[in-house]
Structure 1
């Protein structure tokens, strides 16, 4: 079955037992929904008990008749593979190919844009995004309700180049949403250009779209430099250009097949405290597993309209969960794999953005050495990885006989193929990520500012000249099914 939007993706999942659970039991989007999914399927850096489980569709949302909330669609690598028609272990390579072969978006008129079936304009009587859409909170300490899985589409005011990324969006009032930009985000660069001219930046917020479009949003420079449209990656992943339509109230485009589009403008020279309505001091749980601090001064999106499909689906995620690992981690893997393949064709066999790093901080790189020179080439691959993805903190190198997706196997290599005084490469004082609480001068006074860190390449590969000393015990490859019917890998 072809996937072209969120609803067709759900139809695909429904054909796979255990991948989608639908419930009509009433759910409160304020804390309760995330509390349920934390136990059922969040995984990754969420505090235990948690596990990987099905995506969940909540069809009875308290206070929002007709609206539905979907969580966890991409919260397993297996599901991502199903939705992109790709074996889970080959997603890295598929994404790298998509970067090499981008496919441009397709423009359609309003008659082909289901995202505009229902229209609510900000000048309508009683307009209030807080009652129109159920934006959830993850915890009782959240700064407010958030749209956690919303693609913000903006354009360079000078040349029209488009960028689309997922950002932290907190609903502040009936027609205002604050937006948090991590350092270096391209839409923030567009905002600054517009603000310097005293102009607002028109943006569309797109919620509930084809998973391929979501997955293309997390590539970053230098893989996707300023001016590179990430929607072209989503198109390449799907084999069909992403459909775009003109917004109704602003000079911007929206994803025509989205469940929900919020049209608005980032106002120049207007800032609000993220937790101005709650004063909790916290934003929401972020991918490292901690509550992010509320930002005291964030740009504001003034909402002009909300357009939706009939009975729209609000797609969300549990902040630190496995869904973030898929969204951020698989593109990160592909970026690292691509640069290593360009530099050393065939040397790097696999890359994996480990869940414990939230898809960003920890990468396992599997290499295959064929000479003593490759001892140095392996470490060069680690340095390349840190260079191609600035938020990456730790790299673990393993050999071709170690499964990078199996944490026990990786830890075994780290234990038996590593000596700390010769195999640990430390790079101090490198730009990292502001959401890691250890990357602060309070944690390490030697750091000049928040978001600066020491990085590490952990070389758990065997020295090539000692390869025979590190040969693993070889067992017979026997099919166990005659003795254990129903056995599966």
Structure 2
């Protein structure tokens, strides 16, 4: 009998008994703000308002109003836990994903009988259908526009079915069969496919897949140029697991779902239609986003009409996240590291040893690059690497450059190099008038009318903390004796 394919339940079984990695509770929890409010203290981390910490993933087994359904939060809210899940060293996850992109394993189609995600079927045409009563989608705060799907992988294809893609978006439950989805302009392949359907005024069939192996959710966040239009990121998950992701035809729409998901929402994106994101609350807010602020409600999100919801028979799991948590850093930051490494390795091979997109930037806004210089002729190559990083990922705002003796995963070590190998009058580069992420509130025109013409423009920063190669003797760290058996003194 073959081994069970990877899915969320297999991953949880692998980490349940590891100290500090998993906790579940039967205490009743309200999904409206309480669930995220509790996890904020226990394990959210990231740019979440303090006090917070990096802790275990948490399973809530008793969700108020949703008997038989469970909610899992924070599975990827620890880089070390992600590394454990992917069976890899946490310091080189970027390299691992970079390699996976180049060795794709295509998904494989299975039958409905082979798809746990379709064990139970609810059709939107049923008289009592109401997705708000079916899916335990939490709110992060009391100001949210409504219950949000924050860990739903959207799976769609081009009009001619020749190209397909998976992406993650924020999606709010608006009424019994309507979801509002924010597709960021210019950034996602699903948006490109939607334009094709809108050109012929036809609805675009999609599935929204919830409760997945993290190899899928992390792989899904890759963006161009690393994964160009038509590159289905399920192939990355296949490479990471060395097994194809199983997909299954929908029961109500002409689209594929992820067969081993916990939930699949089958739906259509209506062409050339939009709605107010916070139409039910008029709070002015959407939900907390990765920079740590409440995202403004969008006046014109895409309208999604639900056609069916399918799920597993046995206590299906709704997977969710807190917008600014460490989980976003894992999902957005590690693929960005891979994208940067891919470009710099081609342009200046051997000069960038490693890259880390730290939590302070939410995984998107900041990267730390570890630089290797062979000789005096390499002086300046570090700044070239920074420019390459900006071109690899347009949403990057700050690059910190350090030497190879600095641990890029140790913030104290990074700040040490800025204090001892850095002079502000010569080691700062500022690049004005570039594009960045529109969720950064400092990029509003009123913040700097002279330089920010439209929302999402930014000045970008490079802090060069590398020492000049010809002065290396002045920057040699104090050397301590290497002790092979030092751990015996802890016994």
TM (norm. structure 2) is 0.97
Asked if 2 retains the 8 angstrom alpha-carbon contact of 1:78 and 1:88, the reply is yes
Out of 204, 208, 215, the position equivalent to 2:207 is 204
| Count of paired positions | 485
Query: In the alignment, what sits opposite 1:361?
Result: 365
2-structure distance, mates of 1:157, 1:228: 15
Name the SS of the counterpart of 2:426 in structure 1.
Answer: helix
Name the SS of the counterpart of 2:443 in structure 1.
Answer: coil
After TM superposition, the structure 1 = structure 2 runs for residues 382-421 of structure 1, keeping only pairs within 5 Å, are 382-421=386-425
1-structure distance, mates of 2:219, 2:83: 14
After TM superposition, the structure 1 = structure 2 runs for residues 22-421 of structure 1, keeping only pairs within 5 Å, are 22-158=24-160, 160-184=162-186, 185-310=188-313, 311-421=315-425
Alpha-carbon distance change, 353 to 3 in structure 1, aligned in 2, over 3 angstroms: farther
Out of 444, 452, 459, the position equivalent to 2:464 is 459
2-structure distance, mates of 1:424, 1:99: 33
Return the offset for 1:87: 1.2
Deviates more, 1:337-346 or 1:444-453: 337-346
Name the SS of the counterpart of 2:229 in structure 1.
Answer: coil
Query: In the alignment, what sits opposite 1:429?
Result: 433
Name the SS of the counterpart of 1:160 in structure 2.
Answer: coil
Q: Deviations over 1:174-204 (max 9, x none)?
A: 0000000112121112112211211101110
2-structure distance, mates of 1:123, 1:279: 29
2:489 is the alignment partner of 1:483: yes
Name the SS of the counterpart of 1:483 in structure 2.
Answer: helix
Q: Deviations over 1:256-310 (max 9, x none)?
A: 0000000000001221100000010000000000000000111111000000001
Return the offset for 1:2: 6.9
Q: Deviations over 1:409-445 (max 9, x none)?
A: 0011111111122111111111101000011101111
Asked if 2 retains the 8 angstrom alpha-carbon contact of 1:3 and 1:83, the reply is no
Give structure 1 regions of 4+ aligned residues with deviation exceeding 6 angstroms. Answer: none
2-structure distance, mates of 1:388, 1:373: 24
Name the SS of the counterpart of 1:481 in structure 2.
Answer: helix
Name the SS of the counterpart of 1:453 in structure 2.
Answer: strand
Query: In the alignment, what sits opposite 2:474?
Result: 469
Name the SS of the counterpart of 2:442 in structure 1.
Answer: coil
Name the SS of the counterpart of 1:475 in structure 2.
Answer: coil
Return the offset for 1:481: 3.1
Return the offset for 1:62: 0.5
Name the SS of the counterpart of 1:438 in structure 2.
Answer: helix
2:445 is the alignment partner of 1:441: yes
1-structure distance, mates of 2:160, 2:444: 35
Alpha-carbon distance change, 126 to 258 in structure 1, aligned in 2, over 3 angstroms: same
Unaligned runs of 5+ in 2: none
2-structure distance, mates of 1:334, 1:39: 30
Name the SS of the counterpart of 1:425 in structure 2.
Answer: strand
Return the offset for 1:160: 3.0
Asked if 2 retains the 8 angstrom alpha-carbon contact of 1:3 and 1:9, the reply is no
Return the offset for 1:158: 4.1
